[in-house]
């Protein structure tokens, strides 16, 4: 298996920037970015990140806002925070040098078994597996394993099989080759079996069941949430809400004040609501919104919809119907006193607002409103 995969990998591996270095920090950054994010997207962010935070020390010393701003657009922001936590830990415990020991790597915040295996094998040549979703799929198909790959006994069979395949040398290249096979050939929905270098030994292919493996886990339907983001404009500035680190959604990021229509999110949007509750029949969002805004403004308001969009947060599908609210003669400054639960409200120039570490859907709203 190792010989065939390495030969295939050497002949046509993708040209990726993190494959041009043996620096453990750079490899760590790339592996965290690649979790739940497509390679083409990561390529755009990786170079910028490495220019801004070229080593462990620079990341450990950076302001969290700067870290989130560079990460902005990659999603799953907890990854960026954990990267910085890990950097702070390494500076404190290992003088800024990424530890070589597999056991010590696992103690670094944000580094789990997969990340430790990838860093250890690619940067240090350690004979340890790096099992991600691509590898799980390849092994399940190769050995025709049915059952939940995240639970015993299937999980143990996968780990044992990869350990059995590991070569004595070029372990890092082998782990990358196995992941590359899953990412480019052994695809989730339509595997390219004709191009697979290990097809002759694949039991899933032989039995005609490769495309149905691994056994899919049952997924619950996402909870729907309807919300009204409010883009307040007054005297050439707009209102931005900076959320605390402990916020349930978009922790540590900047958002727009938002009202929830209903209570499906179990209060996740409460800190964004400025203490306002939607008044009237929510079927007519515009009229209901005006009744609500009567609580905070006495001057004439111009209200217009910006255009709906949807966004997924954990297991919630959030339907956003943003409104722009302009106060030609002021009268909205009192909103700045309504922040809740550790959040901070600030009036910013539009150009400065776009420099904030904005959560993705709110950045889209700002960009749309300026078109």
pLDDT digits (tens, 9 = 90+) for 118-173: 999 999 999 999 999 999 999 999 999 999 999 999 999 999 999 999 999 999 99
Q: Are 175 and 117 in contact (CB under 8 A)?
A: yes
What is the distance between the alpha carbons of residues 98 and 105, in angstroms, rounded to a whole number?
8
CA distances 107 to 20, 30, 45, 89, Å, are: 27, 19, 26, 9
With a cut of 70, say whether residue 68 has pLDDT above it.
yes
Higher pLDDT, 317 or 301: 317
Mean pLDDT of 244-273: 83
Q: Which DSSP string corresponds to 144-194?
A: T--S-TTSTTHHHHHHHHHHHH--SS-HHHHHHHHHHHHHHTS-SSS--GG
Q: 339: pLDDT confidence band, cut at 50, 70 and 90?
A: low
Residue 200 DSSP symbol: G
51 tagged catalytic: no
- What DSSP string runs through 268-312? TTGGGTTT----S-TTSHHHHHHHHHTTT--S--EEEE---EEEE
What's the pLDDT at 265? 65
Average pLDDT, the chain: 90
pLDDT confidence bin for 183, thresholds 50/70/90: very high
Q: With contact defined as beta carbons under 8 Å apart, do 331 and 355 qualify?
A: no
- The better pLDDT of the pair 221, 99 is held by 99
pLDDT at 343: 80
Tokens of 159: 């780990």
**What pLDDT, on the 0 to 100 scale, is given for residue 263?**
62
Q: With 60 as the cut, is the pLDDT of residue 213 above it?
A: yes
Q: Which of these, 234, 240, 262, lies nearest to 321 by C-alpha position?
A: 262
The answer to whether residue 275 scores a pLDDT higher than 70 is: yes
Number of C-beta neighbours around residue 355 at 10 A: 12
Q: Which of 87, 30, 34, 82 is nearest to 62 (CA)?
A: 87
Which tops the pLDDT comparison, 260 or 342?
A: 260
pLDDT band at 266 (very low <50, low <70, confident <90, very high): low
The helix (run of H) or strand (run of E) holding residue 203 is: helix 203-206
The pLDDT of 91-115, averaged and rounded, is 97
State the pLDDT at residue 67.
95
The better pLDDT of the pair 258, 265 is held by 258
Residue 240 bridge partners (DSSP) = 346
Percent of the chain with pLDDT over 70: 91
Mean per-residue pLDDT, 220-242: 89
pLDDT given for residue 320 in this prediction: 93
Mean pLDDT of 326-355: 77
Confidence class for position 223, pLDDT limits 50, 70, 90: confident
pLDDT of res. 154: 96
Please pick, among 31, 260, 324, 356, the residue that the annotation labels catalytic: 31
Which tokens belong to 260? 């929830």
pLDDT, tens digit (0-9, with 9 covering 90-100), for 16-56 = 999 999 999 999 999 999 998 999 999 999 999 999 999 99
Write down all domains in the chain, each with its CATH number in brackets.
2-212 (1.10.340.30), 223-369 (3.90.79.10)
Q: pLDDT tier at 268 (50, 70, 90 boundaries)?
A: confident
């Amino acid at each position: 298996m190792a010989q065939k995969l390495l030969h295939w990998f050497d002949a046509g591996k993708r040209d990726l920037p993190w494959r041009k270095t043996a620096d453990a920090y750079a490899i760590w950054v790339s592996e965290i970015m690649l979790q739940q994010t497509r390679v083409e997207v990561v390529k755009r962010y990786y170079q910028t990140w490495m220019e801004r935070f070229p080593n462990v020390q620079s990341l450990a010393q950076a302001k969290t806002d700067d870290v989130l701003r560079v990460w902005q657009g990659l999603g799953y922001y907890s990854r960026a925070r954990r990267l910085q936590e890990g950097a702070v830990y390494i500076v404190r415990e290992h003088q800024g040098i990424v530890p070589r020991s597999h056991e010590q790597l696992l103690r670094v915040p944000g580094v789990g078994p997969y990340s430790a295996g990838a860093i250890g094998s690619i940067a240090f040549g350690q004979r340890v597996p790096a099992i991600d979703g691509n590898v799980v799929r390849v092994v399940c198909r190769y050995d025709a394993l049915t059952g939940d790959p995240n639970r015993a006994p299937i999980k143990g069979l996968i780990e044992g099989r990869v350990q059995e395949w590991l070569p004595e040398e070029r372990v890092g290249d082998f782990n990358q080759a196995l992941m590359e096979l899953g990412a480019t050939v052994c695809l989730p929905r339509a595997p390219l079996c004709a191009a697979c270098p290990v097809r002759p030994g694949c039991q899933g292919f032989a039995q005609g069941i490769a495309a149905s493996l691994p056994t899919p886990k049952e997924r619950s339907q996402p909870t729907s949430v309807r919300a009204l983001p409010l883009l307040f404009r007054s005297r050439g500035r707009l209102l931005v809400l900076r959320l605390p680190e402990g916020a349930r959604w978009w922790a540590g990021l900047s958002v727009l004040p938002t009202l929830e229509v209903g209570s499906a999110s179990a209060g996740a949007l409460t800190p964004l609501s400025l203490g306002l509750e939607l008044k009237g029949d929510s079927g007519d969002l515009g009229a209901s919104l005006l009744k609500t805004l009567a609580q905070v403004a006495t001057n004439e308001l111009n209200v217009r919809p910006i255009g709906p969009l949807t966004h997924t947060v954990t297991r919630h599908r959030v339907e956003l119907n943003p409104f722009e609210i302009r106060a030609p003669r002021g009268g909205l400054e009192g909103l700045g006193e309504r922040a809740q639960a550790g959040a901070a409200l600030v009036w910013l120039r539009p150009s400065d607002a776009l420099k904030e570490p904005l959560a993705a859907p709110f950045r889209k709203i700002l960009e749309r409103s300026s078109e």
